[in-house]
């Protein structure tokens, strides 16, 4: 239980029970236990199976478009007048975000396990689109659970999923956001255990999901580390990524965790501010609890009831966070900071104008943090940021807020 | 406390009939009405009470129990008040076993030690915590057993013979067999299949086996009770409460009376179960 701060490596978790320190675990109904044990067995075999790794690599290169470029954001760097800013361009992946990395990996696992039906939950719709995409590519029927509020604010992605042949089931419980979609997906799974594979989109949930999602996303950081060494001959001083559940962040952070001179910064959704309930900053303003199969930091009241949270970005609108982030926060290896809705919106517009890249609202939070930090750093320093998704899906939301006619 | 549960099942075995186990959500729609419902249950023929602890995100429950939890939370129910409800009930009834049922997070936040001490003092006999499988026994199961509170485990159709011993290892009081893969409130599967499953579990344990998920009528109770040591009814009771509420969600004169009528009917079902089986 006790975590030594002097670890030889920060990259060895989780333990065999799926714990990162006190976080993680397998808090699921008995009906699901045999399934997640099967998944763990299959994952352990796949990890070391050269054929599986080869197929993953092949699809990564030819279907997703890996490696994604490492891009020096020259105009943004000049504008801010401090550290050199590099983007890992995950928004250039097939389907427009990092989510596809994990979906390709998990659909191969589903196939190995002989499952015939895919379910997924989605917030912003990026994971839903990526799931619907791999389901189409591999010929699986696919049901995507999406909060009714998100269905409304992410209409383009809903349409994409439908075009791809997925059934989108709006969830009206609660506030109709990602948490409610995840509850509903778990209910589907517990009902259809025999044939269904639950394709979780973030590095959270019961063991082994946090581990396997991280491992499928770690390609981001592994590539970026090599690309940075090639471009600059050295590692960055800081790695920054937005954190909702935390899959893009853990993907870029993990390969850098043992590089002790690299600062790791996760950016949470500060929503309308941390004073009230309208934010999703689970690490900054939450406390440890148990939800959706794992122990992690949660937004909750004194009775242990989970709060709804709020973010302008549907993808960050989740009152919890992946357990490995909870652990990295607790031991102090990574720092987590909030960015408000308005700051993210400004960053969204600045990047669009300066670099000709329309980012998704999720990484716009990371950009906002870079905007704060870069000017305070020296010109010889380097920030690496994960540009995890593109903003096409968000133009209607942003247009509405800015009062533009579309 | 364990004695209360064991005595109840031993008495029923001597009587030659299965137990009627009734679930309701603590605090639905308000504390006072909910306490009245709890007091009415044994009088109407319930042998064991499952007192639901509301949770904001009940991942294994269907819409009926989700809504009941939301009504209870809206009515101001907390874990402390649910424990108080058990205390209030115990003033008049020291024989009916009470099992608290819910999810782990509110207990974790309350503090496991504090929760167990207060549960014991409030007259709680057992716990069913849906999201704590055997792999998580260190969290609550083992501390509860050490204090003498039963930890009742769910066994499901996915719990195969290989896994069953692990599930039964630290289970006490009774085994709750969930009759199907799914959420609460679904349709009842074929009683013959359930009978087979109960037999399979009984081959591994001497504990009573109660069956739930999908039992709604006296007929169901009779059919399931032919093979099981107990029949659990939850969603039907919760639905009965929901249907009795006024337009603004408050209790009506029919709220407690409706539950009484339903439970009396279910009680007649379990009382006829072994007769039906013998025919």
Find the mean pLDDT for residues A87-116. 98
pLDDT at position A155: 87
What's the domain range around A392?
66-97+218-402
> Do A327 and A393 lie in a common domain?
yes
> Do A303 and A186 lie in a common domain?
no
Determine whether A99 is an active site residue. yes
Q: What is the pLDDT of residues A235-258, one digit of tens each?
A: 999 999 999 999 999 999 999 999
pLDDT at position B182: 83
Give the H/E segment covering residue A401: helix A395-402
Written as one string, the DSSP assignment of B58-126 is -TT--HHHHHHHHHHHHTT--HHHHHHHHHHHHTT-SSS-EEEEE-HHHHHHH-HHHHHHHHHHTT--E
For chain A, what is the domain count? 2
Instruction: For residue B271, count other CB atoms closer than 10 A to its CB.
Output: 19
Domain termination residue (choose one: A191, A213, A235): A213
> Do A146 and A236 lie in a common domain?
no
What is the rounded radius of gyration, in angstroms, for the C-alpha atoms of chain B? 17
Q: What SS3 class is residue A89?
A: strand
Written as one string, the DSSP assignment of B205-234 is -SS-EEEESS--SHHHHHHHHTT-SEEEE-
> Do A150 and A288 lie in a common domain?
no
Nearest to B137 by CA among A326, A211, A27, A14: A27
Question: Are B158 and A187 within 8 A, CB to CB?
Answer: no
* A332 lies in some domain: yes
Question: Are B183 and A190 within 8 A, CB to CB?
Answer: yes
Nearest to A219 by CA among A45, A388, A390: A388
> Do A107 and A245 lie in a common domain?
no
Q: What is the pLDDT of residues A330-378, one digit of tens each?
A: 999 999 999 999 999 999 999 999 999 999 999 999 999 999 999 999 9
Placement of tokens 């299965």 in the chain? B18
> Do A285 and A378 lie in a common domain?
yes
The residue ranges of chain B whose pLDDT is under 50 are: 1
pLDDT classification of A396: cutoffs 50, 70, 90: confident
ipTM: 0.95
pLDDT at position A5: 55
Find the mean pLDDT for residues A78-84. 98
Kind of pairing, strands A23-27 and A293-298? antiparallel
Domain boundaries, chain B: 2-278
* A248 lies in some domain: yes
Question: Are B182 and A191 within 8 A, CB to CB?
Answer: yes
pLDDT at position B186: 79
Q: What separation in angstroms does the CA of A335 have from each of A202, A275, A325, A329, A332? A: 19, 20, 9, 6, 7
- A292 neighbourhood in chain B, CB within 8 Å: 57, 59
CB A346 within 8 A of CB A339: no
> Do A241 and A314 lie in a common domain?
yes
pLDDT at position A256: 98
Measured distance CA(A176)–CA(A181) in Å, rounded: 7
Measured distance CA(A17)–CA(A8) in Å, rounded: 20
Does A308 score more than 60 pLDDT?
Answer: yes
How much of chain A, in percent, has pLDDT values that exceed 70? Answer: 99
* A50 lies in some domain: yes
> Do A54 and A188 lie in a common domain?
yes
A288–chain B nearest CA distance, Å: 8
The CATH number covering residue A178 comes to 3.40.50.1100
Q: What is the pLDDT of residues B94-139, one digit of tens each?
A: 999 999 999 999 999 999 999 999 999 999 999 999 999 999 999 9
pLDDT at position A91: 98
Determine whether A388 is an active site residue. yes
Q: Which residue of B has its CA nearest to A287?
A: B109
* A28 lies in some domain: no
Question: Are B181 and A192 within 8 A, CB to CB?
Answer: yes
pLDDT at position B181: 84
> Do A322 and A234 lie in a common domain?
yes
- Written out in words, the top-level CATH class of the domain with range B2-278 is alpha beta
> Do A186 and A272 lie in a common domain?
no
Q: What separation in angstroms does the CA of B232 have from each of B18, B21, B98, B255? A: 10, 5, 13, 20
* A377 lies in some domain: yes
Q: How many CA atoms lie within 13 A of B86 on its CB side?
A: 29
> Do A139 and A243 lie in a common domain?
no
pLDDT at position B183: 84
Determine whether A111 is an active site residue. no
Q: What is the pLDDT of residues A155-172, one digit of tens each?
A: 889 999 999 999 999 999
pLDDT at position A2: 45
B83–chain A nearest CA distance, Å: 13
* A9 lies in some domain: no
Q: Which residue of A has its CA nearest to B133?
A: A30
pLDDT at position B279: 52
Domain termination residue (choose one: A163, A196, A213): A213
Placement of tokens 């008049």 in the chain? B92
Q: Does residue B157 have a cis bond before it (omega within 30 degrees)?
A: no
pLDDT classification of A8: cutoffs 50, 70, 90: confident
Domain termination residue (choose one: A150, A181, A213): A213
**Quick one: A382 exposed, middle or buried, by C-beta within 10 A (0-12, 13-18, 19+)?**
buried
pLDDT at position A1: 43
Partner residue opposite B57 with nearest CB, options A183, A194, A302: A183
Q: What is the pLDDT of residues B245-254, one digit of tens each?
A: 999 999 999 9
Question: Are A300 and B135 within 8 A, CB to CB?
Answer: no
CB B75 within 8 A of CB B54: no
> Do A147 and A230 lie in a common domain?
no
């Amino acid at each position: 239980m006790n975590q030594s701060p002097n670890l030889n490596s920060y990259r060895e978790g989780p333990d065999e029970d799926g714990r990162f320190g006190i976080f993680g675990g397998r808090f699921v109904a008995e009906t699901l236990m045999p399934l997640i044990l099967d998944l763990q067995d299959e994952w352990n075999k796949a990890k070391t199976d050269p054929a599986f790794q080869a197929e993953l690599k092949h699809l990564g290169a030819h279907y997703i478009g890996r490696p994604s470029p490492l891009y020096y954001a020259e105009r943004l760097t000049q504008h801010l007048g401090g550290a050199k800013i590099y983007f890992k361009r995950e928004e250039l992946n097939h389907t427009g975000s990092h989510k596809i990395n994990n979906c390709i990996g998990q659909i191969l696992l589903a196939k190995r396990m002989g499952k015939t039906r895919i379910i997924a939950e989605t917030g912003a719709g990026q994971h839903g689109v990526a799931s619907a995409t791999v389901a189409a590519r591999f010929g699986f029927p696919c049901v995507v659970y999406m909060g009714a509020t998100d269905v409304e604010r992410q209409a383009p992605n809903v349409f994409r999923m439908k075009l791809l042949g997925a059934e989108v089931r709006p969830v009206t419980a609660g506030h109709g956001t990602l948490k409610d979609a995840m509850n509903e997906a778990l209910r589907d799974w517990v009902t259809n255990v025999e044939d269904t594979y639950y394709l979780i989109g973030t590095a959270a949930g019961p063991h082994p999901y946090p581990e396997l999602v991280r491992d499928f996303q770690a390609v981001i950081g592994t590539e970026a580390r090599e690309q940075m060494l090639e471009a600059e001959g050295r590692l960055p001083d800081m790695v920054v990524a937005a954190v909702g559940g935390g899959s893009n962040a853990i993907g870029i952070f993990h390969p850098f965790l043992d590089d002790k001179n690299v600062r790791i910064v996760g950016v949470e959704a500060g929503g309308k501010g941390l004073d009230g309930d309208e934010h999703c900053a689970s690490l900054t303003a939450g406390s440890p609890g148990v939800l959706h199969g794992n122990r992690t930091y949660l937004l909750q009241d004194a009775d242990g009831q989970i709060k709804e949270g709020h973010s302008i970005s549907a993808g960050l609108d989740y009152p919890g966070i992946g357990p490995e982030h909870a652990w990295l926060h607790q031991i102090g290896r990574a720092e987590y900071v909030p960015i408000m809705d308005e700051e993210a919106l400004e960053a969204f517009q600045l990047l669009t104008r300066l670099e000709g890249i329309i980012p998704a609202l999720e990484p716009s939070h990371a950009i906002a943090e870079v905007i704060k930090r870069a000017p305070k750093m020296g010109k010889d320093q380097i920030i690496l940021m994960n540009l995890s998704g593109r903003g096409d899906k968000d133009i209607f939301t942003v247009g509405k807020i800015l009062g533009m006619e579309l | 406390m364990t004695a209360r549960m064991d005595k109840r099942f031993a008495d029923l075995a001597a009587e030659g009939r299965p137990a009627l186990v009734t679930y309701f959500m603590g605090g639905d729609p308000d504390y006072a009405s909910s306490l009245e419902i709890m007091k009415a249950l044994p009088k109407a023929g319930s042998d064991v009470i499952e007192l639901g602890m509301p949770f904001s995100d009940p991942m294994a429950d269907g819409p009926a129990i989700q809504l009941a939890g939301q009504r209870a939370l809206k009515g101001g129910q907390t874990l402390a008040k649910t424990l108080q409800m058990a205390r209030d009930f115990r003033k008049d009834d020291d024989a009916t076993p009470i099992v608290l049922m819910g999810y782990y997070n509110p207990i974790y936040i309350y503090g496991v030690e504090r929760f167990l001490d207060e549960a014991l003092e409030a007259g709680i006999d057992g716990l069913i915590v849906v999201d704590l499988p055997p792999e998580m026994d260190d969290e609550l199961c083992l501390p509860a057993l050490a204090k003498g509170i039963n930890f009742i485990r769910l066994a499901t159709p996915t719990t195969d013979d290989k896994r069953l011993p692990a599930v039964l290892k630290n289970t006490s009081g009774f085994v709750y067999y969930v009759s199907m893969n799914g959420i609460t409130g679904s349709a009842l599967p074929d009683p013959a299949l359930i009978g087979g499953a109960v037999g399979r579990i009984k081959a591994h344990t001497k504990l009573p086996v109660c069956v739930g998920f999908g039992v709604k009528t006296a007929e169901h109770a009779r059919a399931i009770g032919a093979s099981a040591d107990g029949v659990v009814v939850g969603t039907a009771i919760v639905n009965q409460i929901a249907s009795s509420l006024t337009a603004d969600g408050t209790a009506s004169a029919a709220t407690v009376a409706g539950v009484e009528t339903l439970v009396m009917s279910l009680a007649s079902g379990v009382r006829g179960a072994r007769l039906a089986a013998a025919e």
